[in-house]
Structure 1
Amino acid sequence: MKRLLSVLLTAGVLVAPTLAMAQHNPAAAPAAEGQIVGDAPGAAPDSAKGAEASTSGSGGEAHATPHYPLEKPSELDWTFAGPFGHWDLGQLQRGLKVYKEVCSTCHSMNLVSFRDFGALGYSDAQVRALAAEYQITDPSPNASGEMFQRPGIPSDRLPSPYPNPEAAAAALGGAHPPDLSLLAKARSIERGFPTFVFDIFTQYAEGGPDYIHNLLTSYGEPVPEHFVVQPGTYYNPAFVSSFALAMPAPLSDGAVTYDDGAPQTVEQYSRDVSAFLMWAAEPHLVERKATGFVVMIFLIGFAIMLYLVKNRVWADTPH
């Protein structure tokens, strides 16, 4: 048995270097069926090594993988920006009108109640009249056990244009439009380093409105040659998930009539509805910033007072 083990060990010592040399030198070992000599199984070709590539559907030309959105939103001037911001009630009322006449045909706002519009400067009578324009399915059945519809009341939430998400997807080609209640907080582009550090001090919270405005105003740009837009989608370089989306351009000049003399343009419509969606997502934004500013002043004053008290208490103590 000992002699057999010694023979096997000797054979292993002789064979192992030979196999190692064969693996190191591709020419010394035959290639497996279907494998390219010199490349590991599953390895990318040399043209794609070290960089991601995408190929257009027509020319086959390689292009670097894009990072979305293709166009990052510009920082706009909003009245609610900064620690001393405030809501422009006229702009919010115009944004509500844009939502009612344009956006509400597809998008819901299930977390907003009619009575919340009192914060936009509307009276109780105006809020009741606005709610009565909608037909609401009462959550409780009638005496016969049947569901029924009635005019809306201030405590009702804005109804969805579709009975359920499946019906919305079926009516819109398989794409379910998102609810807009919190969209201005949910859609925001990462600003990266070091910008986000300065945002802590400037209290930048307008990423959502900046993105929404950029998205609504970026339709109609020429499609680059290496992008293939599928049927039923529309090119938009401001979209956060791709270069095209299923929603066509919702706004056009003159689509909504303003009573206060504001410009009836896509630029103005997008600004107004973006501000309105920001208010819907965080209606207490201005109050929160004001409270935070007062708290910071108090903490700074309190820290100064503690420092002076410490010096007074330990003034006569030798160090």
Structure 2
Amino acid sequence: MLARSCLRSTRAIASARNSAVTITKRAASSSRSGSAADSPLRMNIAAVAATTVAAGSIAWYYHLYGPTAHAMTPAEEGLHAPKYPWVHEQFFKTFDHQALRRGFQVYREVCASCHSLSRVPYRSLVGTILTSDEAKALAEENEYDTEPNDQGEIEKRPGKLADYLPSPYPNDEAARFSNNGALPPDLSLIVKARHGGCNYIFSLLTGYPDEPPAGAQVGDGLNFNPYFPGTGIAMARVLYEGLVDYEDETPATTSQMAKDVVEFLNWAAEPELDDRKRMGMKVLVVTSVLFALSVWVKRYKWAWLKSRKIVYDPPNSGKSRH
């Protein structure tokens, strides 16, 4: 009896020890699993917070400085041009062709004496600004060099529709000499080459004050214009009331002439705008129809698969096994 009781006590002590070890292991495993479950959550929270801070920093920087790089000081950059509601910038609008015709008249009578338009041929004016006869007559007013003849002499010929608008100066040196050292830029791509585009050109043409403001320093031979970088521009004011007699009897105010010539210069830099918008509309219509057809075909082709019913038929457990 004594031996049995001793054996039973020894077994009880061993089972108590084993149960304590088991409880300890379970507690450790539960704590580890809890920490393991918490660590992905913490990592996700940290990733979301870091992404939010980065996106907020980028948005704040974009709000402060915008998408473009600016000059070091406002004097180097010039006054920022305001935004004007140009009709041709709307999605479903095209150029005002009457304004293009008036703008070309302003260029010929005012701007062509100093600025060239060397990338625009006469043929591009046909159907948009001038008729074919008007463009041919305008081209024949100028003379162009022909190919050298048998004696090596270059003769002159009247212009053709394939020729480009002539430059007012034979070379850059002559242009600088005639403008006190300043080189008038070519206006073919001037709208695309200036920050602000149409808004900048319009503000520049209409931004000449009667007198420079107090404290403004303008160099010799320069004119004050707040929209020009440095505020000192070699070109003087050229647009005045009634300077041009429009053939459609539109009042030739300064702002009207500036608006017309800016629209013409925008057309010169992007003559395919109307065709591109027209083609874009066709692409949108055709793409919408094809998308609708593709959705219908997809639903038709896969209807048998999406509408099928899958039924699970379990085996009959009541049958005896043999």
TM band (smaller chain): 0.5 to 0.7
User: Equivalent residue for 1:101?
Assistant: 109
Compare the two structures and name the one with the higher helix fraction.
2
**Which whole-Å deviations, capped at 9, do the CAs of 1:219-273 have from their partners, x for residues lacking one?**
116534453211111111222x332211111211121111211011111111111
1:175 aligns with 2:182: yes
One-letter amino acid matched to 2:79: L
Distance 2:121 2:226 in 1: 34
Determine the structure 2 residue equivalent to 1:223: 212
Compute the displacement of 1:286 (Å).
Answer: 1.0
Corresponding residue of 2:257: 269
From the superposition, tell whether residues 314 and 177 of structure 1 become closer, same or farther in structure 2 (CA, over 3 Å). Answer: same
> What is the percentage of aligned positions where both structures have the same residue?
40
TM-score (norm 1): 0.67
Matched, 1:126 2:114: no
Question: In the aligned structure 1, how far is the partner of 2:216 from the partner of 2:73?
Answer: 11
Matched residues in 2 for 1:111 and 1:121: separation?
16
Alpha-carbon distance between aligned partners in 1 of 2:81 and 2:288, rounded to the nearest angstrom: 37
Name the SS for the 1:140 alignment partner.
coil
**2:41 aligns to what?**
none
Q: Which has the larger radius of gyration?
A: 2
Give yes or no for contact 1:83–1:293 (8 Å, CA) kept in 2.
no
Q: Is the partner of 2:298 in helix, strand or coil?
A: helix
Out of 140, 162, 173, the residue aligned to residue 169 of structure 2 is 162
Q: What aligned pairs does 1:1-319 form with structure 2 within 5 A after superposition?
A: 65-66=73-74, 68-78=77-87, 80-136=88-144, 138-189=145-196, 208-220=197-209, 223-239=212-228, 241-315=229-303, 316-317=305-306
Q: Deviations over 1:134-182 (max 9, x none)?
A: 233x142344423343332222111111111121112212211111111
Unaligned stretches of 5+ residues in structure 2: 1-71, 311-322
For 1:295, give the aligned amino acid: V
> What are structure 1's unaligned runs of at least 5 residues?
1-63, 190-207
The Cα offsets for residues 35-59 of structure 1, whole Å up to 9 and x where unpaired, read as xxxxxxxxxxxxxxxxxxxxxxxxx
Q: Using the TM superposition, name which of 160-169 and 118-127 deviates more.
A: 118-127
1:115, CA displacement in angstroms?
Answer: 2.0
Partner AA of 1:71 in structure 2: H
In structure 2, relative to structure 1, the CA distance for the partners of 1:226 and 1:313 (3 Å cut) is farther
Measure, in 1, the Cα distance between the counterparts of 2:149 and 2:143.
16
Q: Quick one: distance in 2 between partners of 1:232 and 1:246? A: 7
Q: Quick check: 2:78–2:227 contact (8 Å CA) kept in 1?
A: yes
Q: Deviations over 1:163-219 (max 9, x none)?
A: 111211122122111111111222242xxxxxxxxxxxxxxxxxx222211111111
Q: Which residue of 2 aligns with 1:201?
A: none
Q: What is the root-mean-square deviation in Å for CA atoms of aligned residues?
A: 2.4
Q: Residues 131 and 151 of structure 1 are in contact (CA less than 8 Å); yes or no, is this contact kept in structure 2?
A: yes
2:291 counterpart SS class: helix
How many residues end up aligned between the 2 structures?
235
Amino acid of the structure 2 residue aligned with 1:161: P
Partners of 1:113 and 1:154 within 8 A in 2? yes
Deviation, 1:118, is 1.0
With 83-92 and 295-304 compared, the bigger mean Cα shift is at 295-304
Higher mean displacement: 121-130 or 96-105: 121-130
Q: Quote how far apart the aligned CAs of 1:304 are.
A: 3.9
Counterparts of 1:248 and 1:140 in 2: how far apart (Å)?
39
SS at match of 1:130: helix
Rate the CA distance shift 1:306–1:296 in 2: closer, same or farther, 3 A.
Answer: same
Query: What TM-score do you get using the length of structure 2 for normalisation?
Result: 0.66
In structure 1, what is the Cα distance between the partners aligned to 2:270 and 2:73? 35
